[in-house]
Structure 1
Amino acid sequence: MKSYSLIDGVGITHTFDKVPQRIVSLVPSQTELLVDLGLESKIVGITKFCIHPQHLKSAKCIVGGTKNVNYDKIKALEPDIIICNKEENTLEIVENLRSVCPVWVTDILTVQDNLKMIDDLGKLLDCQVKAEYWISRLSFALSDFKQFTENKSVQKAAYFIWKNPYMVAGSENFINELLKLNHFENVFENQPRYPEIELQQIIKKTDLDLIFLSSEPYPFKEKDALEMMPLVTQAKIRLVDGEMFSWYGSRLLKALVYFKELHLKL
Structure 2
Amino acid sequence: MGPRRIVCLTEEPTETLYALGEQDRIVGISGFTVRPPQARREKPKVSAFTSAKIEAILALRPELAIGFSDIQADIAAELVRRGVEVWVANHRSVDGILDYVRRLGALVGAGERANAYADGLRRGLDEIEAQAAMLPVRPKVYFEEWDEPIITGIQWVAELVRIAGGEDVFPELSAQPLARGRILASGDPVVERAPDIIFGSWCGKKFRPEQVAARPGWSAIPAVRDGELHEIKSPLILQPGPAALTDGVTAMAAVIRRWAMRRGE
- CA deviations over 1:88-142 (Å, ceiling 9, x no partner): x322222222233221121222221111111111110011232123112112212
Distance 1:163 1:130 in 2: 39
Quick check: 1:64 aligned with 2:56? no
- Retained in 1: the 8 A contact 2:161–2:249? no
Quick check: 1:74 aligned with 2:57? yes
Tell me the residue number matched to 1:9.
Answer: none
- CA deviations over 1:32-69 (Å, ceiling 9, x no partner): 11111112211111111011122322321211202111
Tell me the residue number matched to 1:264.
Answer: 257
Quick check: 1:238 aligned with 2:229? yes
- Retained in 1: the 8 A contact 2:139–2:256? no
- Retained in 2: the 8 A contact 1:22–1:43? yes
Tell me the residue number matched to 2:239.
Answer: 247
Quick check: 1:84 aligned with 2:81? no
Quick check: 1:40 aligned with 2:31? no
Q: Which has the higher helix share?
A: 2
Query: Residue 217 and residue 29 in structure 1: after superposition, are their counterparts in 2 closer, same or farther (change >3 A)?
Result: same
1:147 deviates by 0.8
Distance 1:196 1:248 in 2: 20
The number of residues matched between the two structures is: 245
TM-score by length of 1: 0.82
Tell me the residue number matched to 1:190.
Answer: 172
Partner SS state of residue 149, structure 2: coil
Tell me the residue number matched to 2:262.
Answer: none
1:21 deviates by 0.1
TM-score by length of 2: 0.82
- Retained in 1: the 8 A contact 2:140–2:168? yes
The runs of 5 or more residues in structure 1 that have no matched partner are: 1-17
Q: Percent identity of the aligned residues? A: 21
Partner SS state of residue 232, structure 1: helix
Tell me the residue number matched to 1:4.
Answer: none
The runs of 5 or more residues in structure 2 that have no matched partner are: 260-265
CA RMSD of aligned residues (A): 2.3
- Retained in 2: the 8 A contact 1:159–1:212? yes
Quick check: 1:160 aligned with 2:153? no
Distance 1:185 1:229 in 2: 24
Partner SS state of residue 49, structure 2: coil
Query: Residue 258 and residue 204 in structure 1: after superposition, are their counterparts in 2 closer, same or farther (change >3 A)?
Result: closer
Quick check: 1:176 aligned with 2:158? yes
Query: Residue 144 and residue 182 in structure 1: after superposition, are their counterparts in 2 closer, same or farther (change >3 A)?
Result: same
- Retained in 2: the 8 A contact 1:159–1:213? yes
Tell me the residue number matched to 1:130.
Answer: 113
